[in-house]
């Protein structure tokens, strides 16, 4: 079985795209939180946004790793 070479050429772009989409989803959730009177829905959306904040931190670390990889290449 032949292994594929490690192609990281578009990783940074993909991560940046995902960061943008995550921020967009957070903003939409915040709008919904402000418009809904349902406490269960508010709680669910707030929990999702907390997980999204955690994901954003990890994605930003990945961007740094990709930059370091490109510098050392």
Asked, for residue 60, whether it belongs to a domain, the answer is yes
Residue 34 within a domain: yes
Q: Where are the alpha helices (DSSP H) in the chain?
A: 11-35, 39-72
Has residue 17 been placed in a domain? no
**Within a domain: residue 52?**
yes
Is 50 inside any structural domain? yes
Average pLDDT across the chain, whole number: 92
pLDDT surpassing 90 at residue 55: yes
Structure tokens at 6: 């490690």
pLDDT band at 72 (very low <50, low <70, confident <90, very high): confident
Structurally, the chain folds into a number of domains equal to 1
Contact 67, 16 (CB under 8 A): no
Domain hosting residue 57, numbered range: 23-72
The whole-model pTM stands at 0.82
CB 29 within 8 A of CB 45: yes
Q: Does 42 fall in a domain?
A: yes
Could you report the per-residue pLDDT of 15-26, keeping only the tens digit for each? 999 999 999 999
pLDDT band at 6 (very low <50, low <70, confident <90, very high): low
- Measured in degrees and rounded to the nearest 5, phi and psi for residue 2 equal -90, 130
Helix/strand/coil for 20: helix
């Amino acid at each position: 079985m032949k292994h594929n070479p490690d192609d990281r050429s578009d990783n940074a772009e993909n991560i940046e795209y995902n960061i943008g989409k995550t921020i967009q989803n957070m903003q939409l959730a915040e709008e919904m939180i402000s418009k809904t009177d349902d406490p269960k829905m508010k709680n669910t959306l707030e929990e999702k946004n907390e997980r999204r904040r955690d994901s954003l931190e990890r994605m930003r670390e990945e961007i740094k790793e990709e930059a370091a990889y490109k510098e050392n290449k």
